[in-house]
Chains A and B, each alone.
Chain A
């Protein structure tokens, strides 16, 4: 009887210590998370982006009456700053899906996708909205062998947002069949990610300390990688430079 009591007490103690260690370790890792920053440039002259003829849909062409629409394969600043490049940890990240509750939004605005490239974590919920007074159909076309299944939903004017998530890492092309020029990307990656802004800059937040391979992905120029080491609470840097293809 007494033995059994002792045993139970020891078990309880072990359990408490374990729990404590677990909580502590989580706190430590949360406090120690660092980041990776940098910028992405395009070497040489920016490729010419063709204009888009939207005359088949008067709503779309009217929306671009003063600001003509162009293809967005390369969005380049005056000094080669490259936007819409996805940066993620292709090696070294073994953590869980991000605890982030942020819901990335993919908007259909003036018959284009805003943003042109939407990055997200595996399993992260995203929203597809429409700001347009013309009907769209939102039609991502992943490879069903990866576990991401293609779907196709209508969004007439005033339609409610479509909420979905993707199961596996993949760069998924998104199209609207009604407006064949509409073309965007869902960049599904594992763990922390960032997309370059108009100045070509990025910051990947919530990176636990460790050594990683950072991959930069551009829809036409391809991918590049760099090794970085992030110290607890520190910031690492990785700059990339692409050549237009």
Chain B
């Protein structure tokens, strides 16, 4: 009798132990989430309502992002990169500093733009109202929007004229902050740390390859590239460089990064004329 009760307590303990990680990952229930169905979004003069996006989400999004918005939809096992977990409120493409919530406009833009090299297509066929409603819906999955405000978008100064000096200065920034550690000296995603990178959930992730014609995930204009390295891509190894690159230097770096990209550009032509060599990864930090 005693041994049986011991067995039972062991089984109970084991179950509790196995259930522990599930509980600690703070999974929200439908009940918690439904309490926030009144969530709104504001994009320009459009107001999005979460409850109006229910149909669109069920039809177009739920298969990857899941009914609870935790990225655990039916397609989860088959897609890579994995669908975003909206409950955490952590997003790659933001105009706001690292560690802050994105603005409604950021989410609105991401839905339309899609995410290159992922299963997230461009949802440009939606009306603006539909997209605004979906932004509110995405927000209603995370309690963070109740307790926190989105960050203040970073200021991007007007783009200066591209010059040879600026491209060379951009190369110095690239060497100084050591972008090449992951992206490689020629932007080919083959830096010494490239192979071991992991995202916040411990899954392998590759750095951006500037040379293979890929489009940057968070937009391809010069302003977008500026924003990407100044805000960082939260949830990934890509940090924010806002503390270490001055606004003027940031434009230099944008121009230098353009020289790697396969798309035709003024910067690429100029770099050819300058016969710029890749940075030397073995040069002491002080001399780079």
Contacts and interface: CB of A to CB of B under 8 A. Distances in A.
Contacts of B144: 144, 149
Contacts of A162: 243
A159 B99 CA distance: 19
A151 B192 contact: no
Contact of B193 (A56, A138, A139): A56
Instruction: Name the residue among A137, A143, A159 with the largest chain B CB count within 10 angstroms.
Output: A137
A156 B243 CA distance: 10
A225 B260 CA distance: 57
Interface in B80-106: 87-90, 98-100
Instruction: Name the residue among A144, A146, A151 with the largest chain B CB count within 10 angstroms.
Output: A144
B26 A57 contact: no
28 contacts: A56-B196, A57-B192, A58-B282, A133-B285, A134-B285, A135-B181, A138-B239, A139-B239, A144-B90, A146-B26, A149-B99, A149-B148, A150-B235, A152-B236, A152-B238, A152-B239, A154-B239, A154-B240, A156-B177, A156-B178, A156-B285, A157-B285, A158-B285, A159-B243, A160-B244, A177-B182, A177-B237, A178-B237
Contact of A177 (B24, B177, B198): B198
A135 B178 contact: yes
Contacts of A58: 282
Contact of A151 (B98, B198, B237): B98
Interface residues of B, number: 41
B138 to A, nearest CB: 15
A5 interface: no
A143 to B, nearest CB: 6
Interface in A154-204: 154-160, 162, 177-180
A73 to B, nearest CB: 17
Contacts of B284: 133
A133 B240 contact: no
B147 interface: yes
Contacts of A135: 177-178, 181
Contact of B89 (A134, A144, A154, A155): A144
Interface of B: 24-26, 87-90, 98-100, 143-144, 147-148, 176-178, 181-182, 192-193, 196-198, 200, 232, 234-244, 282, 284-286
Contacts of B177: 135, 154, 156
A58 B234 CA distance: 28
Interface residues of A, number: 33
A44 B5 CA distance: 32
Contact of A150 (B26, B90, B193, B237): B90
Secondary structure of the A contact surface, majority rule: loop
Contacts of B143: 145
Instruction: Name the residue among B90, B147, B181 with the largest chain A CB count within 10 angstroms.
Output: B181
Contact of B178 (A134, A139, A147, A180): A134
A56 B192 contact: yes
Nearest to A159: B244
Given A56-B193, A145-B143, A150 B200 contact: yes
Contacts of A149: 99-100, 144, 148
B220 to A, nearest CB: 22
